[in-house]
Amino acid sequence: MSALTVEPVPGRGQGQDWDDIVRIWEETDAPEGCKVEIIEEIVTVSPPPSKDHNTTAELLQRRLYTVIPEDWGIYQTLGLSLPGRGGIYIPDLVVVPRAVASGPGTTVPAEEALLVVEITSRSNANHDRVSKVNGYAKAGVELFLLLDPWHSGRPTVTLYGEPEGGTYRVLETVEYGRKLTLPEPFGLVLDTGVLPLG
């Protein structure tokens, strides 16, 4: 199953009023389990992730909880707002201070994220590999971990960081099965060999 998109209001196109786009996003009645995001000013609905995708997120979340301070949280459905990039992304995992994620509303500014994790699916791989890499870098998200089991026959994990001028530096790329180190403030070695490939 592939992602569906809701095109901008006819006649408005690029530059459509951000409030109108957010209203469409808020009013989208997607089936339970689907993820509704705004990517480059287009409302996108993705099907529920696979069991392997969910298992990967759960295993990473479990490992991250061993190294984060008590006042940080790890969230699977928290929206990150990137209005300058025409986006509201809902990453597979995001680490933010708990105080930022508390209170009214459904999103937090993306720049508040300490780590964002995206796991590609067949239906959204290009969004994760291109649009979201650019969006998170431009928002100043310090660390972005991209798990890509669909990467041209060679599943990879890439850690992006040091965003400068809206561009990330690739800090490390490993094939599934190898270890990758998340730098401080996490200081965590991830064994990607325990992650499912689907």
Which residues neighbour 181 within 8 Å (Cβ) at sequence distance 6 or greater?
A: 172, 188, 189, 190
Supply the pTM of this predicted model. Answer: 0.87
Summarize the confidence of residues 172-189 as an average pLDDT: 96
Report how far Cα 48 is from the mean position of its chain's Cα atoms.
15
**One-character DSSP codes across 49-76:** PPHHHHHHHHHHHHHHHTTS-TTEEEES
Summarize the confidence of residues 12-36 as an average pLDDT: 81
Q: Which domains does the chain have, with CATH numbers?
A: 49-194 (3.90.1570.10)
The closest of 134, 120, 19 to 85, measured between CA atoms, is 134
Summarize the confidence of residues 171-191 as an average pLDDT: 96
Cα–Cα distances (Å) from 178 to 45, 49, 129, 187, in that order, read: 32, 24, 20, 17
- Note the pLDDT tens digit of each residue in 146-156: 999 888 878 99
Summarize the confidence of residues 112-128 as an average pLDDT: 86
